[in-house]
């Protein structure tokens, strides 16, 4: 049977429009497709492959666990889940952990938790959730409604109620919405899908203070920014603000599906037996791989290396822009970087992504105006230089075609 891109259109639901490239193997930050063409990977599976492809530590962890135990469900616990939960508690603000399979599921758990806490402590009137425009929190109906992009949530009938959206980095916008009816404020400490937007420290600290004033919980969605992506283990650690609830996924498993919600004992006690659950949450295979990924990332060498690689990326992008003037700014933190397109190239981020692929480089979009880079946290410096040479070749071709 021939496995081609055309087969996708025959057998898969058409909610995706995947690239014609079908990778078949990877090593580090390089991929090879069915025709054995080589690609440098600056996409990282959308900030998931934090240690690149087939990292030996992850391969060994998966292989070892695969020969022991695959699945139990949550009628029992298991050693990898306990070990990973202990590590998350030891290295973050959290005292309690809930495991899921994805960022959306971790966020769903967080949203249910904050509503349950408010109901139990204050009553049914305290139900408002405030999130931020251009935010992204997953694709379940609840999480996509909390996400601040109506294009993703419209068209599915009535939406979950009592959800409002403020302007990111605009404290006055939040002040106009928040009240004692607010049960939680939900935000990304670095907006990803919304264009790689960093919060100001004044904004993030102001959000914390407003939450405290109104007995509202602060939820940080660190699905994309967590596990070393910004050069901190979690982004909140560099902002001087501690959330009440934090969600993590993507890089947590280094490519194996897993998500988690982290919180305090005082809040966790409201999710009593039977209030929430997940068949696969805390799966031994996922937790074994995640613990190996987490411990590999959580070292001074890797986290400091992220910051050094950030400089290489940004220096290269600025040098390219000095020649071609295609970007209005380069933004982001660590290895979650966005190159915002200039007015002349507005709306053309997909063109840049496709042109890069033609040159053997995988990059991402963050909306139609931003080219996004989310590579392995341990990508070799030579791969960065080689990849940026390919990116420049792609831009040169685009510019030449435009005349």
- Structural contact between residues 327 and 344, judged by C-beta atoms closer than 8 angstroms: no
Phi, psi of 252 (to 5 degrees): -55, -40
CA–CA separation, 3 and 19 (whole Å) = 14
Of all helices (H) and strands (E), which one includes residue 271? none
CA-CA-CA-CA torsion sign (132, 236, 105, 41) = positive
- Structural contact between residues 233 and 303, judged by C-beta atoms closer than 8 angstroms: yes
Beta-strand runs (E) in 42-172? 96-100, 128-132, 163-166
- Rounded (5°) CA angle 248-251-255: 125
How far CA 355 is from CA of 70, 350, 393, 398, in Å, comes to 41, 8, 9, 7
Q: Crossing angle of helices 349-358/381-402, nearest 10°?
A: 120
Alpha-carbon dihedral angle through residues 245, 249, 250, 256, given to the nearest 10 degrees: 170
| Closest by CA position to 84, among listed 50, 61, 55 | 61
| Cα atoms found within 13 Å of the Cα of residue 349, Cβ hemisphere only | 21
Binding residues: 103-104, 136, 139, 221-224, 278-279
Binding residues for N(2)-acetyl-L-ornithine: 139, 278
Would you state the structure tokens that stand for residue 349, as one six-digit string? 């981020």
Binding residues for pyridoxal 5'-phosphate: 103-104, 136, 221-224, 279
Residue whose token pair is 């087939």: 54
Three-state DSSP at 314 gives helix
User: Beta-carbon neighbour count of residue 132 at 10 Å?
Assistant: 28
Q: Crossing angle of helices 300-324/381-402, nearest 10°?
A: 20
């Amino acid at each position: 049977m021939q496995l081609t891109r055309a087969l996708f259109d025959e057998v898969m639901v058409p909610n995706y429009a995947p690239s014609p490239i079908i990778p078949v193997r990877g090593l580090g930050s390089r991929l090879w497709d069915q025709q054995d063409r080589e690609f440098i990977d600056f996409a990282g599976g959308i900030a998931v492959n934090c240690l690149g492809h087939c990292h030996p530590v992850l391969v060994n962890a998966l292989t070892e666990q695969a020969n022991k135990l695959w699945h139990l469900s949550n009628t029992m616990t298991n050693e990898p889940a306990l070990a990973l939960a202990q590590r998350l508690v030891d290295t973050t603000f959290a005292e309690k952990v809930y495991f899921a399979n994805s960022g959306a599921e971790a966020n769903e758990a967080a949203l249910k938790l904050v509503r349950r806490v408010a109901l139990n402590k204050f009553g049914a009137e305290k139900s408002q959730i405030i999130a931020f425009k251009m935010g992204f929190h997953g694709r379940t109906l609840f999480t996509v409604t909390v996400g601040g992009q109506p294009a993703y949530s419209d068209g599915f009938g009535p939406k979950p109620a009592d959800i409002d959206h403020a302007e990111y980095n605009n404290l006055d916008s939040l002040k106009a919405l928040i009240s004692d009816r607010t049960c939680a404020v939900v935000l990304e400490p670095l907006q990803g899908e919304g264009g790689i937007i960093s919060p100001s420290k004044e904004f993030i600290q102001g959000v914390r203070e407003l939450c405290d004033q109104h007995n509202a919980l602060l939820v940080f969605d660190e699905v994309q920014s967590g596990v070393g992506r910004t050069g901190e283990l979690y982004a909140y650690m560099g902002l001087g603000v501690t959330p009440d609830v934090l969600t993590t996924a993507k890089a947590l498993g280094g490519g194996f599906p897993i998500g988690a919600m982290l919180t305090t004992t005082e809040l966790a006690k409201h999710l009593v037996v039977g209030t929430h659950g997940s068949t696969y949450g805390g799966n031994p295979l996922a937790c074994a791989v995640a613990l190996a990924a987490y411990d590999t990332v959580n070292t001074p060498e890797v986290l400091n290396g992220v910051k050094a690689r950030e400089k290489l990326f940004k220096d290269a992008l600025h040098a390219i822009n000095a020649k071609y003037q295609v970007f209005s700014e380069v933004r982001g933190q660590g290895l979650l970087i966005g190159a915002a397109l200039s007015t002349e190239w507005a709306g053309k981020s997909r063109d840049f992504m496709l042109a890069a692929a033609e040159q053997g480089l995988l990059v991402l979009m963050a909306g139609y105006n931003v080219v996004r880079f989310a590579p392995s946290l341990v990508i070799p410096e030579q791969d960065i230089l080689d990849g940026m040479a390919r990116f420049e070749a792609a831009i040169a071709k685009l510019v030449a075609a435009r005349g």
